[in-house]
Structure 1
Amino acid sequence: MAEFDFEDIKRRMDGAIASLKSDLAGLRTGRASPNLLDPITVDAYGSAMPINQVANISVPEPRLVTVSVWDKQMVGKVERAIRESNLGLNPVTDGTTLRIPLPELNEQRRKELVKVAHQYGEQAKVAVRHVRRDGMDLLKKLEKDGDISQDDSRQMSDRVQKMTDESVSEIDKTLSAKESEIMQV
């Protein structure tokens, strides 16, 4: 029987789920988290760099994030990047340290965050479906070339579909948990 790597399919689907979890970790839920600033990039030294590569991010209190910028000439650029990030944050500069107080989330903002979470979830589902499509196309090619029988192709297709269904189910569970976390007052 020809080579068909189920482990590669599973690894790629798990990668989509891991990416979703990383994206969701950056969504604000009313508590401060260093991951909150992960999506922000700073125009530093001629290129866009993640904020954690130009500063140290910490959470000294439940409603406060501090950003200690390593290069004092970068403080203004980091502050501007945080303000323009659509996260609704307003940093206060204190030397090379930015203090970012997290305001209480109102219901409208919580609903907006849930919508963003669902967009992340849909992107993850699309990624899983792309992996499924790649696997199915490869199976069809192997069957057409005579490397595997029609029965083997059907069995392997069913296995790929089962992996897809499990991944989509895990994405839905992850989204549901994040939604309840965001809506919790």
Structure 2
Amino acid sequence: MINDIQKTAEDKMQKSLDVLRDNLAKVRTGRAHAGLLDQVEVEYYGSPVPVSQVANVTLIDARTIGVKPFESKMAGAIEKAIRDSNLGLNPASMGDLIRVPMPMLTEERRRDLIKVVRSEAEDGRVAIRNVRRDANNDFKRLLKDKDITEDDARRGEENIQKTTDKYIGEVDKLLAHKEEDLMAI
């Protein structure tokens, strides 16, 4: 029982960390990466789909993303979707290839993005702490039902706290790395 609670809590904390990692990847730095366009959706035969499902997204160089539509008639729609997204990108068509250059970030924009990143990290910490709270409540319920001893409950809570500290440390590392990326020129 105790091991099940601990395993479930650790799995949930790992999922929270994975979600944070995905959210941080969406925050754009000065460098280009293909995953930047993952949340951009384009209208394809009446339904919105991600750009990656209607085009091949590659890196041309460190500051330019290349988008090559599978169907040439989709080029205009993809270009419009990228331009209309809130990423601040200005794509340019060159034949059947859409080039998306990454503009330099201003100091003010970098500071705004750091605030966003810190907010995402705090959301990740809160999610991990909520998992700890739920696990501790499970231990208290088992203790109340006399399914485990007080020592087992205390040991379980200590182990959950150690796991929580480990994952909070991972969140802090991710945050520090992303802030470093944002402030690099």
Instruction: Give the partner amino acid of 2:12.
Output: R
Q: Deviations over 1:60-95 (max 9, x none)?
A: 111110111223343333223222221110111234
2:119, 2:47 → 1: CA distance?
Answer: 27
> Identity rate of aligned residues, in percent?
41
- Aligned residue for 1:124? 124
Query: Residues 2 and 142 of structure 1 are in contact (CA less than 8 Å); yes or no, is this contact kept in structure 2?
Result: no
Q: Deviations over 1:11-38 (max 9, x none)?
A: 2211211222222223222111112212
Shift of 1:44: 3.0
Whether 1:10 aligns to 2:10 is yes
**3-state SS in 2 of match to 1:39:** coil
1:54, 1:134 → 2: CA distance?
Answer: 42
Instruction: Give the partner amino acid of 2:35.
Output: N
How many residues are paired up? 185
Cα 1:176–1:99, aligned 2, differ >3 Å: closer, same or farther?
same
**3-state SS in 2 of match to 1:4:** helix
**3-state SS in 1 of match to 2:56:** strand
- Aligned residue for 1:74? 74
Query: Residues 25 and 36 of structure 1 are in contact (CA less than 8 Å); yes or no, is this contact kept in structure 2?
Result: yes
1:12, 1:183 → 2: CA distance?
Answer: 31
1:107, 1:131 → 2: CA distance?
Answer: 36
Instruction: Give the partner amino acid of 2:36.
Output: L
Whether 1:154 aligns to 2:163 is no
Whether 1:40 aligns to 2:44 is no
Cα 1:140–1:74, aligned 2, differ >3 Å: closer, same or farther?
farther
Whether 1:59 aligns to 2:65 is no
- Aligned residue for 2:105? 105
Instruction: Give the partner amino acid of 1:20.
Output: L
Cα 1:130–1:48, aligned 2, differ >3 Å: closer, same or farther?
farther
- Aligned residue for 2:26? 26
Q: Deviations over 1:138-159 (max 9, x none)?
A: 2122122221112211211121
**3-state SS in 2 of match to 1:5:** helix
Instruction: Give the partner amino acid of 1:102.
Output: M
Cα 1:112–1:98, aligned 2, differ >3 Å: closer, same or farther?
same
Q: Deviations over 1:70-125 (max 9, x none)?
A: 23343333223222221110111234432111111111111122122112212211
CA RMSD of aligned residues (A): 2.0
**3-state SS in 1 of match to 2:103:** coil
Consecutive unaligned residues of structure 2, counting only runs of 5 or more, are: none
Instruction: Give the partner amino acid of 1:181.
Output: D
2:179, 2:115 → 1: CA distance?
Answer: 9
Please, what TM-score do these two structures have when normalized by structure 2? 0.88
Query: Residues 82 and 90 of structure 1 are in contact (CA less than 8 Å); yes or no, is this contact kept in structure 2?
Result: yes
